[in-house]
Structure 1
Amino acid sequence: MTNFSDIINVLPRMKSGTDLITALEVLPKYNPASCNADAPVRLMALSDLYRVYIPSQMSLEIYSKLYLALLRSMQKKGTKLAIQQQNQNYRAIIQQEYSGIMGGSDSFTIIGTSGIGKSSAISRSINLITENRVIEVDNPYTHVVPSVIVQCPFDSSVKGLLLEVLRKVDEVLDSKYYQNALRARATTDMLIGSVSQVALNHIGMLVVDEIQNVANSKNGKSLIGALTQLINNSGISICMVGTPESSRFFESAMQLARRSVGLQYTTMSNDKYFQDFCKVMFKYQYVKQKTEITDGILAWLYEHSAGITSVVVALIHDAQEIAILNGKEILNLESLNEAYEQRLSLLHGYIQPSISHGKQTSKIKKKTPISTAMVTQNKISDDRIRIADFVVQAKNESIDIVQLLKSNMPVVEVAV
């Protein structure tokens, strides 16, 4: 029999070290014989690349932060203050004067560049923390959802967010809080009281994703104010997840900055974790000609992904897809470059700054148009191209050698 005051004992034991890494890791089973299967089978098997999850230091920090935040929130369930706050929340629902006497547990942010794996780390951590999706309490009889994840509305609507919280709780508990709120045509003040009561009784931790939406909306500060009020009236922990765009919003005022203390991440450096990640992803090959990853490919992947793991996965997946469809059946620099040019063209403007093109130290020379006649002169009888001839031509005619080479053969620049 579980009492409300003993609810923290229901949570699974906190993991750390090798046990945590093993629990977070997801490596789908790979069968080398699948490379000989038909093209449709191999194309469908490629989707396993998106299931791979290799925990990083960021994953370990996010797990610890979420676990401790949930623990602090659960410790307030069933206390004398919680019962007093229930009475105050009921006064808010019936639109009487009320106050937040419980105080907040805490709020924090997880801010990082898009595509580095924030949402995946949060999802894996929450699945590990909440082994039992719903915690059942006998005295008093109730159900508690350890974690509820909602999206910040695109227009930062306070009412929209509060209704979404009720809808998410209804999905798990099969309750009717959302329908009742719509039927009662509840105002925002009534909804804050209602959601506070629901959070106090049924929610351990609230995760608000896409919080950067508050930065570009006139309702942004109102939404953060509503979340602050929700914290004070329910005592639950609130985690706000977003991109660096939201940092400027939280830095604009002291009370916002205090509410947004948390974890911040940028793109990865070309370190051991990134290289190990690329090596693991490269093992999932479904083309007929299997290749090994080289230092050149590792350097190319970093330069053409800007250290964003989701781009690495997309490059390796699409390169194999293209190679299977066009019959080349090999994963190499050529197929990777083809995937970068064809499939990731919209990302070039964001990835391009990380690629070193070399600095111009001398006066920029006026480019001379390269005619077809000039190109044919540099080909020998068997249609092979001699680079030495291009070097001589560039010197004689004051032409940029790199541009001349690019006009006659595929050239990929990699920073060293």
Structure 2
Amino acid sequence: MKNERSYNVGLGRAVNANYVEQMIPDYQGNPLIEALPPILSEEEAVEALISYPQIEAAERYLSPQYRYHCVNRLQRYFQPMEHHLILERQVACLIRQGYIGRNPRSKEYTIRLQQNNSRDVYSEPYKNAPNVRSGASSFSLIGVSGIGKTTALERILSLYPQIIVHETPLNLYQLVWVKLDCPFDGSLKGLCINFFMEVDRLLGTNYYKKFASSRLSVDTMLAKMSHVANLHCVGALIIDEIQHLSLAKSGGADKMLNFFVTLINTIGIPVILVGTPKALSVLSHEFRQARRSSGYGNSEWKRMERDDNWDLLIEGMWHYQWTQEEILLTEELKEALYEESQGIIDIAIKIYMMAQWQAISTGKEYINAATIHQVAKENLQLVKPMLQALRTGNILEISNFDDIRPINLEEYHQRFQPSINIKEKIRQYKLKEAEQRQRKSESILEQVALALLQLQIDPSRAQIAAEKAIAVKKETESVSEVIQRAARLALDMSVTEKTVVMPKAKTKPRTEQRNTTEPILLVDIVNQGKKKYQSAYEALKESGWIKSAVDKLIV
């Protein structure tokens, strides 16, 4: 929205109201609707919902510990499907229809607030309240754990600012949506407490302190919850994990469902109920709620089929790959992922993440169908019964798995991260140590070989003796001790070879001409060099016994 300005009203995302004229007559003149973002076309919805995390080709060549962290980006990958676009339209209609008849500029709205504020108990709280003529309704979203219900709903809700600040003359904070988790025991008191805490978190108010007292009855807390929801113009109330109502104490589920009906009928606040297949029995148990929750249809999201939509999802996901070897996506890999995930998006993405972590950690840097099956076998033990129920298609068995979380990546993260870091540190240490040993060895070899040459030992024999002496060198030995051992080795080698024949030179020596077959002692060469003020090394090099590194490279 244009001219947005942030407000410090709590932890919610708050913007100032920017009123836009509405095309639909039902929405015109209502500031609660005029301040909402524009209604999206299908193309705009896809663009708004899609989430493709950034990835660079150069990241493949990062060290393992860095690539390990890059893999986590896959958790932000979101590919909109047809059912996501349907849900976006449902939410857009639900919020706007719920605001019809709740115009804060109307006299009825003011009367209702005054009456609600004066009530202390929940019994018939809206007996004399003006009738709310709105299109408010509700719907339920049912699907197995991990299918992406909550993720998709939260992405859709994120398209709306959660708090809109209306200044003079309205002076109110509009809560566009409030999302709660149903209490684990299905209690109404727990629901009220969660609601007050969430509103306090968003707006910085103190409703929890005022209304969550043990002195107040549940009925009174429910009345206050209704009043707060009406006061802050809550556009939609989303209750997740609704299957927990099945665990409510006697009458708890019916009472909470009746309360939702009251919110819809008397105040006009739409309610979205989200849960697993186990919630179906709860919703159908109360006929009125079953009817009301069908206002926009009961959406039942089943596992994905092995079709073009699955290929679209996996092809987009496969792009996020951090193994050094690029793995092309094949039909075999698609089939392996589907077999192990049974079309559950959350499981498919996390299997792919763990397969990459394993490939990077082991240094194999490769993923195939066998890797997918191995990772699934080792890490999906907790959801194996649920996956088996999905394979058989048994609805009764599937409904038993209402609160299973597909994979705990944190546990896998903690198990693999130290392994990768330690392996990388060891590898780097060994590499550095080997380089140091190599440099040290080369340095000692040069020192020992040069010392032997200065002792007038044949160069080839000096090289061999030096290498042998260094090969048995102890850590505590000094270089001088190695030279002494090398000299003894060279002396032993000369017992059977007291003289050598001078190699044929390419050019005649500038000094005295000799017969190339005439025996010559190295000491003679060194002595002749001394006469010219040359070192033993220089004299031997000039005579052709020693070649420089450059000479060795010339073929």
Tell me the TM-score range normalised by the shorter chain.
Answer: 0.7 to 0.9
- 1:96 deviation in Å? 7.8
Residue equivalent to 2:527: none
Give the AA of the match of 2:277: P
Separation of aligned partners in 1, 2:123 and 2:51: 51
- Matched pairs, number: 355
Q: By how many angstroms is 1:224 displaced? A: 1.2
**1:93 alignment partner, SS class:** coil
- Cα pair distance change 1:114/1:96, threshold 3 Å: closer
| 1:95 Cα offset (Å) | 6.8
Alpha-carbon displacement from aligned partner over 1:290-336 (angstroms, at most 9, x marks no partner): 11110111122112111111111011001111111122111211221
CA contact (8 A) 1:135 1:145 kept: no
Q: TM-score, normalised by structure 2?
A: 0.61
CA distance in 1: counterparts of 2:192 and 2:264, whole angstroms: 13
- Once residues 251 and 297 of structure 1 are traced to their aligned partners in structure 2, the CA distance between those partners, rounded to angstroms, is 40
Q: Deviations over 1:272-300 (max 9, x none)?
A: 11111111111111111111110111122
What amino acid sits opposite 2:191 in the alignment? L
284, 288, 299: which one pairs with 2:335?
299
Are the equivalent residues in 1 in contact too, given 2:140–2:293 (CA < 8 A)? yes
**Residue number in structure 2 paired with 1:229:** 262
Unpaired runs of 5+ residues, structure 2, are 1-16, 20-28, 393-555
Q: 2: distance between equivalents of 1:126 and 1:282?
A: 27
Report the more deviating stretch, 180-189 or 54-63: 180-189
Q: 1:252 to 1:184 in 2, by over 3 A?
A: closer
1:48 aligned to 2:68?
A: no
CA distance in 2 between counterparts of 1:296 and 1:136 reads 56
CA gap 1:245/1:337 in 2 versus in 1, 3 angstroms: same
Matches of 1:353 and 1:226 in 2, distance apart? Answer: 34
Matched, 1:115 2:143: no
Match of 1:143, SS? strand
Q: Deviations over 1:201-229 (max 9, x none)?
A: 21121100000111232321122122222
Q: Which residue of 1 aligns with 2:386?
A: 350
Q: Residue 85 of structure 1 corresponds to which residue in structure 2?
A: 112
Q: Which residue of structure 2 lines up, in the alignment, with residue 16 of structure 1?
A: 41
SS at match of 1:92: coil
* Aligned twin of 2:318: 282
Q: Secondary structure at the match of 1:208?
A: strand
Shift of 1:350: 2.2
The alignment status of 1:29 with 2:57, answered yes or no, reads: no
Aligned partner of 2:200 in structure 1 is 170
AA partner of residue 321 (structure 1): W
Q: Which residue of 2 aligns with 1:316?
A: 352
* CA shift digits 1:314-362 (9 cap, x unpaired): 1100111111112211121122112111111222222235669xxxxxx
Amino acid at match of 1:157: S
Q: How far apart in 1 are the matches of 2:276 and 2:96?
A: 26
What residue in structure 1 maps to residue 244 of structure 2?
Answer: 213
Gapped regions of structure 1 (runs ≥ 5): 357-416
Query: 1:60 and 1:39 mapped to 2: Cα distance?
Result: 38
- Look up the match of 2:278: 245
The aligned amino acid for 2:193 is L
Q: TM-score, normalised by structure 1?
A: 0.80
Q: Work out whether residues 30 and 284 of structure 1, in 8 Å CA contact, stay in contact via their aligned partners in 2.
A: yes
Percent of residue pairs bearing the same amino acid type: 26
How far did residue 123 of structure 1 move? 0.6
Give the Cα–Cα distance (whole angstroms) in 1 for the partners of residues 380 and 212 of structure 2: 43
CA distance in 1: counterparts of 2:391 and 2:93, whole angstroms:
40
1:96 & 1:157 partners in 2: Cα distance? 18
How many Å separate the matches in 1 of 2:243 and 2:162? 31
Question: Which residue of structure 1 aligns with residue 225 of structure 2?
Answer: 195
Query: Residue 74 of structure 1 contacts residue 204 of structure 1 at CA under 8 Å; is this kept in 2?
Result: yes
Supply the AA of the counterpart residue of 2:210: N
In the TM superposition, residue 124 of structure 1 has moved relative to its aligned partner by 0.7
Q: Deviations over 1:350-404 (max 9, x none)?
A: 2235669xxxxxxxxxxxxxxxxxxxxxxxxxxxxxxxxxxxxxxxxxxxxxxxx
- Which residue does the alignment assign to 1:401? none
Match of 1:140 among 165, 170, 181: 170
Contact 1:146/1:204 (8 A) holds in 2: yes
Residues 212 and 243 in structure 1, CA contact (< 8 A), matched pair in contact too: yes
Matched residue, 2:517: none
Distance 1:236 1:97 in 2: 17
**Alignment partners' CA distance in 2, 1:95 and 1:55:** 42
Deviation at 1:97?
6.0
Partner of 2:8: none
SS of 1:251's equivalent in the other structure is: helix
Calculate the aligned-residue CA RMSD, in Å.
2.2
Query: What is the identity, as a one-letter code, of the residue corresponding to 1:336?
Result: I
Q: Return the structure number with greater relative CO, CA threshold 8 A, min gap 6.
A: 1
Name whichever of 96-105 and 299-308 sits farther off.
96-105
| Paired letter, 2:137 | D
Q: Are residue 254 (structure 1) and residue 287 (structure 2) matched?
A: yes
Q: Based on CA coordinates, which of the two structures has the bigger radius of gyration?
A: 2
